[in-house]
Structure 1
C-alpha cells in the first residue's frame, strides 16, 4: 500500500517543508551579513565587531544609515539593515510555523509528543516519514529501515559488527539522532543503556546506532499503536487543593515551574512528568 497525501499528516508535511526552506534562508542571511561585515569599511566593521548573532541582527535592524546612494558606507549600512530585517522576518515566520506544527502534531500524535526527547519538529518529521496510513508498514523493523536506522552487517574475518545505515529517509534519521542526543543529555535510563553498551566495547557510533534503532522501535509503536495520555486537566485543581505553588511543586519533583505550568494548561504534554506530578499531588 502506498503512502497517501491526505489529512493532518499532509498539513504537517507542507508546513514542515516551508519551515525547512525558511531555516535555510535565515542561515544564508546571517552568513551574508557576516561576510559583508568582513569586507565593509573600517567604520562599520569596528562598530559591529564582538556582538553575538542576536544582538547584531537586532542592532543592525534599528540603524538609520542615511541615503543608500550617498557613499559606500551608507550603501553598506542599508544593505546590512535590509538583511537584518529579513532575518527578523524569517524568524517570525519560523516561530509561527512551529506554533502551527505544534497544534497539528498534538492532534496527530499526542502520545509521541508527550514522550521525553520528542520535540515538535522531530515528531513532525517522523510522522511525515510514516505517512497518513502507517498501517502499511508491516513491522517496526520496516519502519527502522525506512528511517535508515536498521543495522547493516559489516563483519570481516573473526570480527562481527554492524555499521550505520546510510540509506533510508535522512530527515527521519536526523530526527532519531536528535532524540537520541536529547535523551543522552537528560535521561538516566538512556545514559545507563549507553554505559552498558560502552562497557561491552561499543564505539560512540555504535552506541548511537543502537539508540536510534531502539527509538525507531518506540516511535513505530507510538504512531501505529498509541497509548492514551494521562489526564492533566485536573492537575491545577489538585495543586490548589494541596495548597502548593508551582515553585514548590517543581522543586519537589525536580522540574521547572514553567514546565509544570505548560503541563497544567495542556500546552506541552509529557506523559512521564504528568505521572510523577500526579503521584506527588495525590501522595498522603
Structure 2
C-alpha cells in the first residue's frame, strides 16, 4: 500500500483535518516551509483551500484521516485532479518533541510526503462500498443495542418477583421475548410486579423491533455485496457480514492493494521480523485493521469446523507440534491469498458446470437424499444446500462439489 511520490521541482502540501477546520501547509521539494493557512471544513472552505494550493503550485497533497475528518476534502481534491495520499499521524515521540498544534501537524504531513514513508492511497468513498459501510455500521450498532437489551431484561428478572422470575428466566431468549411482548401487565404501577412486567414488555418489544431491522439490513448488505463482487461469497466460510467486513477494509478501489503481502499487513495477518543479534525469529503483526483480522478469524474457525481440507491441514499441523493459535495464524495467511485473488484482482473461483439449481434439487430427490444427508457428506450446513438449490447464494465451489456428490451417489 506504500505510494511512491515524485517530488523533484514540486511543491507539496500537507493537511491536518478536524471537524470544523482544516489546516494546510505548503513546502518546497527540499522541505522549506512556504505558507500555512486554516480553512473551514465546508464546501466554500474546500474551494478556498484549492485556490491556496493552486496559488502555490502544489502538485501532491498529503491528508490526515482521508476516511474520517478529511473524507469530504479528499473527495473534493480528487475531483479537482489533485493526487492525494494519506499520511500517518505523527508518533508520540515526535509530538512530544515538536509540540501539538494544527500548523505543526500540517507541516509534518507535508514533509512526510517528501520522505515517501508511511504513505498510502486513500480509499474510494464515492461508490457502493461507501453505502455498504454505512449499512454495516447501522447493523453493528443495532446488534450491540439488542445485546444490551437482552442483558437488561435478564438483570431485571434476577430481582423480579418470584412468579415472574420462575416463569420467564427458564425460557430461551426467543421464547422469552415473545412471551414478554404478549404479556399484559396491569396499569396499577404501585404494585412492583406490574412495574417490572411493564418494563420487561417495553424492552422486549423494542428488542423484537430492532431485530427485524437488523434482519432487513443484513438482507440489503447481502444484496449489495453481490453487486460489488459476486464471487466473494463463493469462498468457503464467507457469509455476507464477513464479506462486508473484508470489502469495507479493502475499500472501493481494491487495486490500491498491490500484493498479497500488502493485504496481509492490512489485515494484521503478516509475520514481522523480530531478529536481533543471535536471535532470528518473527513475531505476530499487532497492526492492521481489526475488522479485517476478525473476519479472517471467523473464516478460519468455520473452515476448521466444516471444511474437510482444513480439517486435514489442522490434523497435520497439530501432529507437527503447532498449537491451535499458531495454526489459525497460518490459516489466516492462506485465506488472505484467496481473498486477494477474488477481491483485489477480481478473479472468480472455479465455476461448476452449467446446471440449473432446480435440476440439482430434482436429482437429489430422485436419489432419495435429504439436504441434511448431503450437507453432512460435504461438511457444510443444510442451509448452504438450500441456498444452492434456490440460487440464493452463488456458492460455486460448494455447488461443484454438490454436483459431483450427486453424480457419484
Instruction: Answer yes or no: same fold by TM over 0.5.
Output: yes
The aligned counterpart of 2:28 is none
2:183 is equivalent to residue 58 of structure 1: no
1:220 counterpart (328, 337, 340) = 340
2:217 is equivalent to residue 97 of structure 1: yes
Alpha-carbon contact 2:124-2:252 (below 8 Å) kept: yes
Whole-Å separation in 2 of the counterparts to 1:283 and 1:215? 30
Higher radius of gyration, 1 or 2: 2
Partner SS state of residue 291, structure 2:
helix
Q: 1:136 to 1:247 in 2, by over 3 A?
A: farther
* Higher mean C-alpha deviation, range 257-266 or range 213-222: 257-266
Structure 2 residues not aligned, in runs of 5+: 1-120
* Higher mean C-alpha deviation, range 185-194 or range 252-261: 252-261
Structure 1 residues not aligned, in runs of 5+: none
The aligned counterpart of 1:269 is 394
The aligned counterpart of 2:319 is 199
* Structure 1 position 9, deviation (Å): 1.1
* Structure 1 position 252, deviation (Å): 6.1
The aligned counterpart of 1:235 is 357
For 1:1-284, what aligned pairs fall within 5 Å after superposition? 1-67=121-187, 69-154=189-274, 161-225=281-345, 226-227=347-348, 229-230=351-352, 234-237=356-359, 240=362, 244-245=365-366, 248=369, 250=371, 251=373, 254=377, 259-279=384-404
* Structure 1 position 17, deviation (Å): 0.5
- Name the structure where strand makes up a greater proportion of residues: 2
* Higher mean C-alpha deviation, range 169-178 or range 67-76: 67-76
CA RMSD of aligned residues (A): 2.6
Alpha-carbon contact 1:118-1:179 (below 8 Å) kept: yes
Whole-Å separation in 1 of the counterparts to 2:271 and 2:212? 40
Whole-Å separation in 2 of the counterparts to 1:243 and 1:42? 52
Whole-Å separation in 2 of the counterparts to 1:14 and 1:189? 36
Partner SS state of residue 140, structure 2:
helix
Whole-Å separation in 2 of the counterparts to 1:280 and 1:204? 31
Partner SS state of residue 121, structure 1:
helix
TM-score, normalisation: structure 2:
0.63
Structure ranking higher on relative contact order (CA contacts 8 Å, 6+ apart):
1
